[in-house]
Amino acid sequence: MKFRRSPISCLMLSICSFHAAASGILRDETASAYLGSAGAGRAADIGASAAFNNPAGLTYLDHKAFQGTLLLVEDTFTFHDNGSSGNNADFDQRKKDTDYGKGFSGGGSLFYGQPLGEKWGVGFAFASPAGGATDFGDNWIGSNFIESVEVMVAVAVASVGYRINDQWSVGLSAGISYMAWELDMDPFPGASENLDLDSFEPVWSVSVMYQPWSHTRLGLRYTPGVTHEVTGKTTMTTPMGTLIDHASQEFNLADQAVLSLDHQLTPKLSLLADVEWAQWSDWEESRIIHDNGPTIVVDRDWKDAWSAGIGLSYQVAPDWTLKAGIAYDESSVSKAIHKLDPPADRQIAYAAGLGWQLSDSTRFDLSYQYMDLGDVELNQSIEGFDPIAGAPFSQQIVGQSEAHLHIVNLSLSKRF
């Protein structure tokens, strides 16, 4: 990848830096109490969060139900240099290695569901299934590519479920997805640029729930992909002054399908499982268009990705439940074309959770998940122009990066 003779020559970090990942990138169990099972079983949900996880599950509600969650995330990124080179004036002063921890970032979700007659269930969900922030600083070797990034995706949907018979239910949700993307970088020595872009797009999903026996549920949800064309202002500060521009960038979020199982093995022990597919092969390139500047094209050529998870839920006492799970996500990016974004290869999630039934109508869940995002071998180049020095510059990043996440979810559920 080479950007030639541009004062804004850089890599624009894509949506892949989301702290949530599955089927290569997006993992949506962070929005609900299913974090404690590593997402296993979420499409077989029959609580308030079914308004998000599987609207067909709303038909199982016999009371009004509410769930609120609080999400805390800590991410760490490590880069080890293996011979990077560059002729820009400040290259030798830059840190060749970096070990960066953001500290805590967070978010939250709200879910509501209620029965409507004997066969219908309705609900609403406001959730942030993906987002994150990373700040590498302006003195590391890759700041010409990226200095810091913040990404958030939030969705608000209305959902409805219909029970066909004792075994089959179907569901539908529709609403709005909001994406915000902010990037800071150093396009050439002595300069810094900020891009602050966002967009709204419609979203929908369809789902089905099958209960062959009273102790077994299978849930399937399909969510079509969304193309967010984020637009907004860019500000570049240089010794020659400040330049204001506008830019746009398309992010193609994949079609996703998830199949889940919730099977009661014994009166106290349940098996939870998931298989998920995401069609990332439609994303061939990233194209950032400046109104009064360059168009930057980054080849992607991603591939479809699968993930699978398995978990257990065990009632250790009448009011206490333990959960545990593990999930494996294959990478949507082949090793041959891996770039600084995403800072992830294959991903493995290890999770545990504790549920406390405070009363007949109130439940509290505490969940923890550790995500190993794998190791990435990097060999990435950039060619740009330094208008201050009046000369072109080049840089090549060669090294290895690794990243991991600690995620904590607090959830309160209430029946009315």
Token pair 């992909």 in the structure block, residue:
225
Q: Tell me which residue of 189, 294, 285 sits closest to 234, measured CA to CA.
A: 294
Nearest to 416 by CA among 69, 61, 45: 61
Is the entire prediction scored with pTM above 0.85? yes
Please count the residues of the chain: 416
Angstrom distances, CA of residue 358 to CA of 32, 130, 287, 355 = 18, 30, 51, 9
Listed by start position, the domains of the chain span 15-184+197-230+247-415
Superfamily of domain 15-184+197-230+247-415: Outer membrane protein transport protein (OMPP1/FadL/TodX) (2.40.160.60)
d(CA 340, CA 399): 10
Residue recorded with tokens 């011979």 = 83
Amino acid (1-letter code) at residue 197 = L
Rounded Cα gap, residues 219 and 211, in angstroms:
9
**Joined tokens for residue 227:** 């193309």
Joined tokens for residue 259: 């199949």
Which pLDDT does position 191 carry in this prediction? 79
- List per-residue pLDDT tens for the chain, 416 residues long: 222 222 222 222 222 333 333 433 445 666 678 999 999 999 999 999 999 999 999 999 999 999 999 988 887 878 888 888 877 767 777 777 777 655 567 778 999 999 999 999 999 999 876 666 677 766 777 777 777 778 888 899 999 999 999 999 999 999 999 999 888 877 777 778 889 999 999 999 999 999 999 999 999 999 998 888 999 999 988 888 888 999 998 887 788 999 999 999 999 999 999 999 988 877 777 777 888 877 777 666 777 889 999 999 999 999 999 999 999 998 877 666 666 666 667 889 999 999 999 999 999 999 999 999 888 777 777 777 777 777 787 778 888 888 888 899 999 999 99
Indicate the residue type of 199: S
Q: For residue range 225-272, list pLDDT tens digits in order.
A: 888 899 999 998 888 888 899 999 888 778 899 999 999 999 999 999
For 39: left if phi > 0, alpha if psi spans -120 to 50, otherwise beta; the answer is left
Angle at 218 between CA 30 and CA 412, to 5 degrees: 35
Give the model confidence (pLDDT) of 10-41 as tens digits.
Answer: 222 222 333 333 433 445 666 678 999 999 99
* Cβ–Cβ under 8 Å, residues 261 and 217: yes
